[in-house]
Structure 1
């Protein structure tokens, strides 16, 4: 398990450590040493380093790293955004000047670009977690110059231009191969655009006794921390103990959505998986998957009485047929998993219900909050909390660094890959969530476990097929093996 913090919390932790007697310069030198050790570990043949430094503590980390590199005999050039430094960063600058280091002002992009072309490795220490405004044109041009260069980059604390809280960027961000982050793991490194810019993340705590009374924004666990929570099978087990799930959806040409969800539900161990779908789909669904129990819409009320849990939405649609099914389902007291079009129906008549799990992607989250997907992505943590406050239950906000929130606990899943951006992937997740909840897990445990297993199964497929070959129907058998 790892704890994730925002920028404000990270600054507070840094301040408290210093207030308790640890010199800030000592922390800066430790950060720089770990930064340089990462250089030596991953780029042992690099001889010429270029260090790009801003004016704050992040720039100080870069200046101190330049000292270690220079003393180790490397050829080092430092470019400063300006020399308006103070405190510990100024001390590191003065020490570097005393070593007669090559220090230049960053006032000529062409000169910087020429030097970058002769460099083995760039250390990015331009902007730290304090950045909270759009970049000016000069900074954008500088970062674009770095990103178009073949020179590899190691970023100090986080790639410059990236928001430590949300994973968005402020116009652009440096694309690093490695990011050395200090004192805390910043949530923005792990969600939204963060993973695209951070490369491999290396965490260094810098201090043996970090403050324990600042609650993290979120936690992130390993897959093997969730798997043991799945109910085990006893020798006398039978289908009645494994949960009866009713899936509703699959309108007209969207039979595939409900089929994918039902297949995932079966492979996740549900005792009975039932479907209410368009009448013309019932025979093909049964032929494709004999274990499914398929019923026409007229049987909905009866099947609701015989089921333990309802999953509503995959391929449901938004016409009158869909609305009638949704209306009947929404009036029932069964625990519910809402996905896809069911979320859009829910947004029309919001209901707060603690016994539901919502599984929106950013576009659906925008509908739930009467917003737009861009705003959702710019503050994913704020968005998922707003959805849960409005609708209750457990919310899964899908996307890179998927978030799960129950009003108290926030979990971030770091697994998954770009190949998952394909229609039907969310339908599979719905089936897994429904099955695990029906089998007896708590809603939060079922949601977290399902998200991790779903992403892990996709990562296994990705290794075999690549991004283009990763299709949702490949996942259910792998999901079954991961559930055990």
Structure 2
């Protein structure tokens, strides 16, 4: 079992906050003071001495954290520029207390500046309290912050980013660093979250771990370190039959490269044998390009069924197409009742005739997920957590919803992969992932473990492959790093 880091919804963190106040004999204002001190220390790491500090404060506890920080800056000899979007009756509770404490020493600006040309920005506008689209002065403040392009520190979560989904509806603060309090919010790690959060730092504000255990863990972040612990070396007397036979199905006219990439990835991820079922015109080319792949030209149902009988696991979809040939192979694959990875055109065929199967791993990108759910891509991206759960409930097995912060669901918790980079937005990357997961299934991993390990190996391999930059990253560039990762223990 891979150990993982729990991720929380905004409400779960608020409940932990409430429990801390009730059981530890502390006040919400005490926690706010702790948060302000953490921000003060973090700010020193990102700003030069005596550099101008611009703090944007809203109305809730996020603003209160900002006012505590402002007071600490004043006491240290730095006069911050504090822009208050809400004052008077709009401020209540601990946020009002923090505002009053700061106001005894410093002043606030109730009018936003036209531009900011220097200094460091602190976003204490909204935090996890976002429950409607940004508008008015708040939207103006976010646009001003982003337009300035100054080093920006977000308090808890960038304002405008949904803490639960990672979705940005209108605009959000693009932070260089986000200091998250008590627990990591799951929206930081998927959809728009990684683009807006910058480097993420967590401080639990000395809340004891026993209080975290009260909250049910529903979302978890995968860890490469734990992955390495659970991947064991091979026995000395191993033979290729011990590591399974993966059959890759696809490569219609014009798409032979897709199935070849999937096959080579399966080899690099440790499958004992890898066969290719493809168009007859492509078989020889694939064998020449990678001699270790056993490539077979398939005319139709009979050819394929005979070949597939000897396989341990199937991977259906890379370059498959949606022709009668493709549909025939897909139907045979389903009838074999073997563990299967379904990607690309395999998913498109499935969307046309939906069915449920508890023996497969589906790996849709957002557009494919939208076709499977008969909705729009935007609806998928608005709440990727809901989408991956709905896909799993409707289609069974394990679902990997690809994209920034890939999500994995096998009917229980949702797992988040925080690795990966924008260079992966290129043709063939999904084919490589299909091959890796198929190889892990062939070697005996369960569906959920193969999906988790596969996604992590794929993403970390891509991160290692961008030493010279993200642009121009090829799917084939991942191959040596896949092998490297599979041999780290």
1:469 corresponds in structure 2 to 472
Distance in 1, matches of 2:232 and 2:325, equals 37
Map 1:176-255 to 2 at 5 A.
176-210=175-209, 211=211, 212-255=213-256
Structure 1 position 78, deviation (Å): 1.1
Residue aligning to 1:268: 269
Would you say the 8 A contact 2:46–2:151 is kept in 1?
A: no
The yes-or-no answer on 1:91 pairing with 2:97 is yes
Separation of aligned partners in 2, 1:311 and 1:151: 47
Q: Does 1:435 align with 2:439?
A: yes
Asked whether the 8 Å contact 2:20–2:207 carries over to 1, the reply is: no
User: Paired residue for 2:388, among 384, 387, 408?
Assistant: 384
Q: Conserved in 1, the CA contact under 8 Å of 2:85 and 2:138?
A: no
Q: For each residue in 1:341-361, what CA deviation from the matched residue of structure 2 results, as whole angstroms up to 9, or x when unmatched?
A: 101111222222211101111
2:277 and 2:427 map into 1 onto residues whose CA distance is 21
TM-score by length of 2: 0.95
Q: Supply the distance in 2 between the matched residues of 1:152 and 1:234 (Cα, whole angstroms).
A: 52
Query: How many Å apart are 1:140 and its aligned residue?
Result: 2.3
* Residue number in structure 2 paired with 1:305: 309
The residue number in structure 2 matching 1:163 is 162
SS at match of 1:113: coil
Does residue 423 (structure 1) correspond to residue 431 (structure 2)? The answer is no
Structure 1 residue 410 and structure 2 residue 414: aligned?
yes
CA positional deviation for 1:41? 2.0
Corresponding position: 1:19 with 2:18? no
In the TM superposition, residue 242 of structure 1 has moved relative to its aligned partner by 0.7
State the Cα distance separating 1:46 from its structure 2 match: 4.2
Deviation, 1:57, is 0.4
3-state SS, counterpart of residue 50 of structure 1: strand
CA distance, structure 2, for counterparts of residue 225 and residue 137 of structure 1: 46
3-state SS of paired residue (1:203): strand
Report the 3-state secondary structure (helix = DSSP H, G, I; strand = E; otherwise coil) of the residue aligned with 2:80: strand
In 2, distance between residues paired with 1:140 and 1:77?
19
Q: Which residues of 2 match residues 123-142 of structure 1 at below 5 A?
A: 123-142=122-141
Deviations 1:178-206 (A, max 9, x none): 11110110001111111111111110001
Displacement after TM superposition at 1:436 (Å): 0.7
Alpha-carbon separation, structure 1, partners of 2:395 and 2:73: 54
Q: Which residue of 2 aligns with 1:447?
A: 451
Q: CA offset at residue 326 of structure 1?
A: 1.1
Counterpart residue number, 1:122:
121
8 A Cα contact 1:297 1:325, kept in partner? no
Q: Which of 325, 332, 338 pairs up with 1:334?
A: 338
Point out where structure 2 has 5 or more consecutive residues left out of the alignment. none
| Match runs of 1:273-352 below 5 Å | 273-298=274-299, 299-352=303-356
Tell me which residue corresponds to 1:102: 107
Matched length = 476
Contact residue 6 and residue 217 of structure 1 kept, 8 A:
no
The answer on whether the counterparts of 1:230 and 1:436 sit within 8 Å (CA) in structure 2 is no
Corresponding residue to 1:9 among 8, 12, 16: 12
Q: Distance in 2 between matches of 1:468 and 1:150?
A: 23
Any idea what SS the aligned residue of 1:185 has? coil
* Closer/same/farther in 2, CA of residues 138 and 81 from structure 1, 3 Å limit: closer
Distance 1:461 1:50 in 2: 38
Structure 1 CA distance, aligned partners of 2:177 and 2:158? 9
- Secondary structure at the residue paired with 2:459? helix
Aligned to 1:400: 404
Distance 1:398 1:417 in 2: 12
Cα drift, residue 137 of structure 1: 4.1
1:356 paired to 2:344: no
Equivalent residue for 1:483, pick from 461, 464, 486: 486
Contact 2:125-2:138 at 8 Å conserved across structures: no
Query: Structure 1 CA distance, aligned partners of 2:315 and 2:233?
Result: 23
- SS of equivalent residue, structure 1 residue 181: strand
Q: 1:273 to 1:231 in 2, by over 3 A?
A: farther
Kindly indicate whether the alpha-carbon contact (under 8 Å) linking 2:156 and 2:178 is maintained by their aligned counterparts in 1.
yes
Q: C-alpha offsets along residues 165-224 of structure 1, whole Å, 9 cap, x if unaligned?
A: 111113100111111110110001111111111111110001331421102331113212
Q: Check whether the contact 2:222–2:456 (CA below 8 A) recurs between aligned residues.
A: no
Is 2:182–2:207's contact at 8 Å kept on the other side of the alignment?
A: no
Distance 1:430 1:264 in 2: 8
Distance in 2 (CA, whole Å) between partners of 1:436 and 1:213 is 34
What is the distance in 1 between the residues matched to 2:162 and 2:338?
41
